[in-house]
């Protein structure tokens, strides 16, 4: 009702009346207009604005509300079905439905629907609907159609807000620096940000976090702005903001869980590494500690490999750590070719040597890259192209 | 029940068998063919590692994921990165073994020739001048064959001028190795690649021969076209 | 000049270095000198080995190192002991050297040739059998044999071998009174009389290439008779013997039919020679993987390489394995290479090379080449 009054206030012309308000006729009319009229009076008006004013909600808003309602219903239904499904699954597996976690669900699905499909993304699975279906944004504008976010009309409000915040932080850091210099103080050396063990969020992760799609150019811009922020001396004051957009890397794995050697019949300490893989070669490597430098591959000497390169690769970790005369190596491999097999053995030896070597040597091995699993595989040939990357001759027209 | 089974499409991360939570590029074929960009290059040569230890950066680098060294690289004392590069350039159709054996035979030829010269030289001073290590000769040859400027074609007013300009280290090295191999391939049919390559390397190390001549011709052209150098900035 | 004096000077001092020995006579080599290199005199080397005898890669090394040096190893010493101790009145003993590729069989044979030469044996040495049967330049001189039906002759090869035989045994042929026991008629006008010296027949064979194969045959018979009569002791050395028993050769008759080794006259001559129906001598044979094509190179053991026929022919024999280097031999070889400027670099290289070459002598030589 108030709104209708406002509208009328705008659309009824304000006249500079020579008549006084006390004029009964005008008074009457003004009284009439300012009084809160009943709805049937308005219903009788046929002015197009007044007709349209009945639709308080804009078309976009209406459509949005419709969609939101549908989505909510859908999600509720999915959640309901998921919960029921989970209970059914628990009953099938004979476990307690109350304490059936997501891990148990995964295990159960793998057991009940064994899949020979190679790609893990294509196998059957059951996950809570929030993980499976993409997130949607909440209401972005109110009923009048006015957006809540001040950057709504950029099209990607969350992303640009992020950049806006970053720039604001940069300016704040600069101001702080100016103040510090004026006071002739020095920055705190302990506060330096250590960004060695993390990377910026990838484009996909950023898209997921912001629930918006981003172009490559915009993502590069984002990275540039964040790098700028990090390079400032007082960036540690905005540590949380930066940490929020960095993903930590799980790379210290080589130092954790170093296995202890077991002892065989002769009292020699030995370690076996299974699952040594590279390309298509698969094998296992055993290292025996007080040894003479004997290397046995599939029962044969190092002459199993006929080319020098493979032999050098097998010897690489031993010579790097200086243990070539102190350990015996026994390996079994199959599959792949000389390069794949020697690469697998190299990784296997390095991984086993972790237990026989000191900590600083361990770090040196990690920096040398000997402890990284090489999970590269041959890229498949795509249809319409002669090879994996090679394309048919490019014709300009 | 079956309705709850959904096949994931692009929106979740794939867990590889080594349990790193890596989100792969959105591709429909799920195998990794190269390492993600945040992997650092490995440092495995003894000299480089010693430098790192001195500057106390070893522990920092140890916390970042590192790519494994390539199949043809080791940390041994007698592996040279320049030799590996030359072997890669000589290689055709991916035949690494053949390329490596050719380059090794070329080195053998160089060594035999130099030893012969050594035994023929009479005085100890002359003996000291003869270099017997083929890798040193390779380094010298490549150094002597590296150009210092390059010509780039720039079009002004309908005419394409050859403008001299600076050259990066990498490109200079690439051109030196390419010229050496090209000069070797212009050999007679009966002469084998390693022998011809040995000849080219010895001559280049001596600052004579086809490759050095080519480099000097290039330099002469650059000198002649000095007048157009300002076209680079117009 | 100066360099040669320098070298001799060094050699006098080399007795103190551990990889050389100044003992140049093989019969004096004993256990103390295992792993050490001894040099063969240049002229003697030329006499014995110019027309074959040492592997080609070794000849290249000879040129680069400006000397012929052979390492004293256990198999060679064992063989020399056996030959010295064998009874000359009993039928000949056959020794078979075997080992993997590049283990040092041909070099051991060369060592023993030197020994035999010193001891005054008559040397019958076939440098590499596959040269005759498998090496095919554009056109191989072949002709159908005249004396035997269906057999193939290799005239040029036979003539070159006769020359080789002559150079190796110059001294013995000059001084010895080795005469033919019967007359051989080559054609209507040419014949070798009984009682004429062996050297003359050999000359005839070299000059008249057409009859070279028959000369070889005759020579084999004569040598057997001479040995039996104790006029000379013979040392037979054949490298790559298993090539005689491989089912095919690479030769083709003019009618494009593949020739089997048994159809070549030279094969029959040497198979005759290696039978143990004569005495006063020793036979040394090498079986090598390289003598047969690559499809059949699965193992280096004599039983596999000789096939059934060869095994039966040679049975009984004394097998001797030529193995890889031991640690001591390896180190001495490495220091020899350093001395000869073939290997340079920091000493740690040796540990790596020990593994990369898996202590195989040939591989070690190859690996040191580009370093």
Secondary structure of chain C as H, E, C letters: CHHHHHHHHHHHHCCCCCCECCCCCHHHCCHHHCCCEEEECHHHHHHHHCCCCCCHHHHHHHHHHCCEEEECCHHHHHHHHHHHHCCCCCECEEEEEECCCCCCHHHHHHHHHHHHHHHCCEEEEECCHHHHHCCCCCCCCCEECCCCCCCEECHHHHHHHHHHHHHHCHHHHHHCCCECCCCEECCCCCEECCCCEHHHHHHHHHHCHHHHHHHHHHHHHHHHHHHHCCCCCEEEEEECHHHHHCCCCCCECCCCCECCHHHEHHHHHHHHHCCCCCECEEEEEECCHHHCCHHHCCCCCHHHHCHHHHHHHHCCCEEEECCCCCHHHHHHHHHHHHHCCCCCCCCCHHHHHHHHCCCCHHHHHHHHCCC
3-class DSSP state of A6: helix
More confident position, C281 or A21: C281
The b-or-e profile of C314-346 (16+ CB within 10 A means b, else e) is: beebeebbbbbbeeebbbbbbbbbbbbbbbbee
Mean local confidence (pLDDT), A27-32? 43
> Least CB-CB distance to B108: which of C66, C348, C369?
C369
Adjacent-strand bridge partners of C282 = C93, C235
Mean local confidence (pLDDT), C329-339? 85
Q: Counting beta carbons within 10 angstroms of the beta carbon of residue C350, is it exposed (0 to 12), middle (13 to 18) or buried (19 or more)?
A: middle
Q: Is the pLDDT of residue A133 over 70?
A: yes
- Written as six digits, the tokens of A396 are 């300009």
- Give the pLDDT score at C3: 54
Q: Counting beta carbons within 10 angstroms of the beta carbon of residue A297, is it exposed (0 to 12), middle (13 to 18) or buried (19 or more)?
A: buried
- Written as six digits, the tokens of C151 are 């057999």
Residue A141: DSSP 8-state: B
Residue A142: DSSP 8-state: -
Considering only CB atoms, which chain B residues are within 8 Å of C61?
Answer: none
- Give the pLDDT score at C137: 67
> Least CB-CB distance to B71: which of A343, A363, A378?
A343
Considering only CB atoms, which chain C residues are within 8 Å of A304?
Answer: none
Tell me the Cα Rg of chain C.
21
> Worst-scoring range by mean pLDDT, A311-325, C114-128, C284-298?
C284-298
Which residues are CB-neighbours of B85 under 8 A, at least 6 positions away? B173, B177
Pairing of strands C152-153, C184-185: unpaired
| Cβ atoms C51, C62 nearer than 8 A | no
Query: Rounded CA gap, C154 and C205, in Å?
Result: 13
CB distance from B118 to chain C under 8 Å? yes
Query: Rounded CA gap, C350 and C356, in Å?
Result: 10
Which chains reach chain C with 3 or more Cβ–Cβ distances below 8 angstroms?
A, B
Contact C349 B116 (CB under 8 A): no
Q: Is the pLDDT of residue A325 over 80?
A: yes
Task: State the count of interchain CB pairs (< 8 A) between A and B.
Answer: 149
Contact C355 A308 (CB under 8 A): no
Any idea what the Cα angle at residue C267 is, between residues C121 and C275, rounded to 5°? 55
| Cβ atoms A344, A244 nearer than 8 A | no
3-class DSSP state of B72: coil
Contact B43 A368 (CB under 8 A): yes
Interhelix angle B96-120/B193-205, rounded to 10 degrees, is 50
| Cβ atoms A166, A232 nearer than 8 A | no
Chain centroid to CA A151: how far? 24
3-class DSSP state of B80: coil
> Worst-scoring range by mean pLDDT, A341-350, A376-385, B80-89, C201-210?
C201-210
Share of chain C above pLDDT 70, in %: 91
Q: Is the pLDDT of residue A243 over 90?
A: no
Which residues are CB-neighbours of C358 under 8 A, at least 6 positions away? A301, A302, A303, A311, C324
- Written as six digits, the tokens of A28 are 């009457």
CA nearest C220: which of C163, C177, C278? C278
Query: Rounded CA gap, A192 and C180, in Å?
Result: 102
Query: Rounded CA gap, A79 and A83, in Å?
Result: 6
Nearest residue on chain B to A79, alpha-carbon basis: B4
Q: Is the pLDDT of residue A296 over 80?
A: yes
Query: Rounded CA gap, C57 and A339, in Å?
Result: 29
Alpha-carbon separation of residue C66 from B112, B119, B157, C107, C253 (angstroms): 11, 9, 67, 17, 43
Query: Rounded CA gap, A169 and A284, in Å?
Result: 52
pLDDT band (50, 70, 90) for residue B15: very low
Which residues are CB-neighbours of A241 under 8 A, at least 6 positions away? A165, A166, A169
CA nearest A3: which of A64, A41, A43, A54? A54
Q: How far A314 CA lies from chain C's nearest CA (Å)?
A: 9
CA nearest C115: which of C161, C71, C84, C69? C84
Q: Is the pLDDT of residue B103 over 90?
A: yes
| Cβ atoms C49, B100 nearer than 8 A | no
pLDDT band (50, 70, 90) for residue B10: very low
Q: ipTM score of the complex?
A: 0.80
Interhelix angle B169-185/B81-90, rounded to 10 degrees, is 50
Considering only CB atoms, which chain C residues are within 8 Å of B112?
Answer: 60, 63-64
Mean local confidence (pLDDT), C11-38? 68
Mean local confidence (pLDDT), A286-301? 86
More confident position, A114 or A257: A114
| Cβ atoms B103, C369 nearer than 8 A | no
Overall pTM surpassing 0.80 (yes/no): no
* Segment holding A180, helix H or strand E: helix A157-182
3-class DSSP state of A338: helix
Mean local confidence (pLDDT), C318-334? 85
The rounded mean pLDDT for chain C is 78
| Cβ atoms B162, B221 nearer than 8 A | yes
| Cβ atoms C62, C250 nearer than 8 A | no
State pLDDT tens for residues B50-72. Answer: 887 777 777 777 777 888 888 88
The rounded mean pLDDT for chain A is 81
* Segment holding B160, helix H or strand E: strand B159-166
pLDDT band (50, 70, 90) for residue B87: very high
Mean local confidence (pLDDT), A317-323? 86
Mean local confidence (pLDDT), A99-104? 86
- Give the pLDDT score at A17: 44
> Least CB-CB distance to B77: which of C341, C348, C369?
C348
Considering only CB atoms, which chain A residues are within 8 Å of B31?
Answer: 377-380
pLDDT band (50, 70, 90) for residue A221: very high
- Give the pLDDT score at C152: 77
Share of chain B above pLDDT 70, in %: 87
- Give the pLDDT score at C12: 46
- Give the pLDDT score at A31: 42
Q: How far C364 CA lies from chain B's nearest CA (Å)?
A: 13
Which chains reach chain A with 3 or more Cβ–Cβ distances below 8 angstroms?
B, C
- Give the pLDDT score at C193: 74
Q: Is the pLDDT of residue C77 over 90?
A: no
| Cβ atoms B100, B117 nearer than 8 A | no
State pLDDT tens for residues A179-220. Answer: 888 888 776 666 677 776 778 888 888 988 888 889 999 999
Contact C341 B118 (CB under 8 A): yes
- Give the pLDDT score at A82: 92
Q: Tell me the residues of chain B between 21 and 50 that have a Cβ less than 8 Å away from chain C.
A: none
Mean local confidence (pLDDT), B189-201? 91
* Segment holding A285, helix H or strand E: strand A281-288
Nearest residue on chain B to C352, alpha-carbon basis: B76
CA nearest C4: which of C66, C52, C50? C66
Taking residue C188's Cβ as centre, other Cβ atoms within 10 Å add up to 6
- Give the pLDDT score at C58: 83
Give the C-side interface with A, CB within 8 Å.
351-352, 355-356, 358, 360, 367
> Highest mean pLDDT range out of A136-150, A171-185, B215-229, C125-139?
B215-229
Considering only CB atoms, which chain A residues are within 8 Å of C358?
Answer: 301-303, 311
State pLDDT tens for residues C50-76. Answer: 777 778 888 888 888 888 888 888 888
> Highest mean pLDDT range out of A17-31, A120-134, B90-104, B124-138?
B90-104
Mean local confidence (pLDDT), A78-84? 92
Mean local confidence (pLDDT), A378-385? 87
Query: Rounded CA gap, A212 and B219, in Å?
Result: 55
- Written as six digits, the tokens of C351 are 């540990």
- Give the pLDDT score at A30: 41
Query: Rounded CA gap, C306 and C274, in Å?
Result: 14
Whether the bond between B104 and the residue before it is cis, its omega within 30 degrees of 0, is no
pLDDT band (50, 70, 90) for residue A273: confident
Which residues are CB-neighbours of C199 under 8 A, at least 6 positions away? C166, C173, C174, C178
Mean local confidence (pLDDT), B184-210? 90
Place of tokens 């370690």: A271
- Give the pLDDT score at B6: 42
Q: How far A164 CA lies from chain B's nearest CA (Å)?
A: 26
> Least CB-CB distance to A315: which of C352, C360, C367?
C352
Alpha-carbon separation of residue C272 from C217, C248, C318 (angstroms): 9, 20, 19
More confident position, C83 or A168: A168
- Written as six digits, the tokens of C119 are 């001891």
- Give the pLDDT score at C5: 54
3-class DSSP state of B42: coil
- Give the pLDDT score at A34: 44
pLDDT band (50, 70, 90) for residue C204: confident
Contact A125 B3 (CB under 8 A): no
- Written as six digits, the tokens of A276 are 């040594």
**Phi-psi label, residue C256: left if phi above 0, alpha if psi -120 to 50, beta otherwise:** left
């Amino acid at each position: 009702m108030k709104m209708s009054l406002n509208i009328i206030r705008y659309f009824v012309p304000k006249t500079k009346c020579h008549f006084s308000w006390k004029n009964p006729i005008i008074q009457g009319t003004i009284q009439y207009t300012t009084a809160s009229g009943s709805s049937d009076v308005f219903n009788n008006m046929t002015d197009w604005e007044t007709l349209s004013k009945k639709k308080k909600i804009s078309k976009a808003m209406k459509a949005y509300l419709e969609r939101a309602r549908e989505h909510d219903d859908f999600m509720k239904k999915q959640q309901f079905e998921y919960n029921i499904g989970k209970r059914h699954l628990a009953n099938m597996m004979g476990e307690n439905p109350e304490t059936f976690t997501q891990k148990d669900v995964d295990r159960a699905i793998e057991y009940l629907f064994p899949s020979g499909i190679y790609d893990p993304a294509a196998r059957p699975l059951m996950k809570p609907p929030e993980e499976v279906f993409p997130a949607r944004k909440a209401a972005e504008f109110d009923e009048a159609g006015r957006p809540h976010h001040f950057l709504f009309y950029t099209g990607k409000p969350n992303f640009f807000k992020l950049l806006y915040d970053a720039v604001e932080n940069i300016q704040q850091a600069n101001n702080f620096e100016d103040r510090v210099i004026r006071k002739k103080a020095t920055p705190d050396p302990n506060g330096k940000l250590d960004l060695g063990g993390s990377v910026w969020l990838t484009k996909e992760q950023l898209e997921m976090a912001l629930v918006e799609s981003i172009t490559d150019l915009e993502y590069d811009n984002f990275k540039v702005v964040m790098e700028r922020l990090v390079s400032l001396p007082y960036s540690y004051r905005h540590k949380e903001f930066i940490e929020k957009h960095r993903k930590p890397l799980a790379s210290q794995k080589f130092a954790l869980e170093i296995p202890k050697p077991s002892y065989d019949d002769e009292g020699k300490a030995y370690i076996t590494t299974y699952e040594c893989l590279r390309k298509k070669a698969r094998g296992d490597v055993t290292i025996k500690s007080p040894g003479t430098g004997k290397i046995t591959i599939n029962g044969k000497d190092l002459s199993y490999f006929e080319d020098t390169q493979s032999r050098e690769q097998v010897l690489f970790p031993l010579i790097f750590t200086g243990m070539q005369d102190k350990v015996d190596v026994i390996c079994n491999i199959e599959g792949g070719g000389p390069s794949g097999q020697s690469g697998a053995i190299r990784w296997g030896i390095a991984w086993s040597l972790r237990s026989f070597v000191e900590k600083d040597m361990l770090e040196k091995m990690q920096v040398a890259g000997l402890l990284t699993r090489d999970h590269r595989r041959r890229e498949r040939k795509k249809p319409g192209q002669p090879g994996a990357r090679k394309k048919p001759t490019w014709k300009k027209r | 029940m079956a309705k709850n089974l959904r096949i994931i499409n692009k929106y979740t991360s794939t867990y590889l068998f080594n349990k790193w939570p890596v989100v792969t590029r959105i591709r429909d074929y799920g195998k990794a063919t190269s390492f993600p960009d945040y992997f650092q290059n490995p440092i495995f040569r003894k000299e480089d590692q010693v430098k790192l230890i001195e500057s106390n950066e070893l522990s920092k680098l140890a916390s970042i994921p590192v790519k494994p060294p390539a199949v043809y690289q080791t940390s041994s004392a007698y592996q040279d990165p320049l030799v590996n590069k030359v072997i890669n350039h000589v290689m055709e159709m991916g035949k690494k073994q053949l390329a490596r054996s050719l380059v090794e035979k070329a080195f053998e030829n160089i060594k035999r020739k130099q030893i012969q010269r050594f035994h023929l030289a009479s005085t100890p001073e002359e003996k000291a001048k003869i270099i017997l290590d083929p890798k040193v000769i390779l380094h010298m040859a490549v150094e002597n064959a590296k150009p210092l400027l390059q010509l780039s074609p720039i079009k002004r007013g309908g005419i394409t001028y050859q403008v001299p300009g600076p050259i990066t280290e990498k490109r200079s090295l690439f051109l030196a190795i390419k010229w050496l191999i090209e000069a070797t391939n212009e050999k007679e049919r009966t002469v084998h690649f390693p022998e011809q390559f040995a000849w080219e390397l010895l001559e280049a190390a001596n600052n004579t021969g086809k490759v050095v001549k080519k480099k000097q011709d290039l330099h002469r052209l650059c000198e002649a076209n000095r007048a157009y150098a300002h076209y680079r900035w117009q | 000049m100066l360099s040669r004096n320098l070298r001799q000077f060094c050699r006098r001092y080399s007795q103190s270095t551990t990889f050389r020995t100044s003992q140049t006579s093989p019969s004096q080599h004993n256990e103390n000198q295992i792993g050490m290199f001894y040099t063969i005199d240049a002229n003697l080397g030329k006499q014995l080995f110019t027309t074959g005898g040492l592997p080609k890669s070794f000849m290249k090394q000879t040129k680069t190192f400006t000397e012929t040096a052979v390492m004293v190893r256990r198999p060679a010493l064992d063989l020399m002991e056996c030959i010295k101790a064998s009874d000359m009145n009993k039928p000949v003993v056959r020794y078979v050297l075997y080992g993997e590729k590049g283990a040092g069989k041909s070099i051991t044979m060369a060592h023993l040739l030197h020994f035999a030469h010193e001891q005054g044996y008559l040397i019958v040495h076939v440098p590499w059998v596959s040269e005759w049967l498998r090496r095919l330049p554009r056109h191989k001189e072949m002709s159908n044999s005249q004396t035997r039906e269906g057999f193939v002759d290799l005239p040029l090869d036979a003539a070159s071998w006769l020359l080789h035989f002559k150079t190796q045994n110059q001294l013995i042929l000059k001084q010895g009174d080795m005469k033919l026991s019967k007359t051989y008629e080559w054609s209507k006008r040419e014949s070798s009389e009984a009682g004429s010296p062996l050297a003359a027949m050999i000359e005839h064979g070299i000059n008249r290439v057409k009859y070279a194969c028959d000369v070889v045959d005759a020579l084999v018979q004569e040598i057997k008779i001479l040995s039996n009569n104790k006029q000379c002791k013979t040392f037979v050395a054949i490298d790559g013997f298993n090539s005689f028993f491989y089912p095919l050769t690479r030769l083709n008759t003019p009618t494009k039919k593949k020739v089997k080794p048994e159809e070549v006259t030279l094969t029959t001559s040497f198979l005759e020679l290696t039978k143990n129906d004569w005495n006063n001598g020793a036979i040394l044979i090498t079986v090598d993987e390289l003598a047969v094509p690559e499809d059949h190179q699965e193992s280096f053991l004599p039983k596999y390489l000789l096939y059934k026929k060869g095994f039966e022919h040679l049975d009984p024999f004394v097998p001797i394995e030529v193995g890889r280097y031991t640690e001591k031999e390896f180190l001495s070889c490495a220091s020899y290479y350093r001395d000869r400027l073939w290997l340079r670099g920091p000493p740690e290289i040796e540990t790596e090379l020990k593994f990369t070459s898996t202590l195989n002598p040939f591989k070690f030589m190859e690996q040191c080449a580009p370093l």
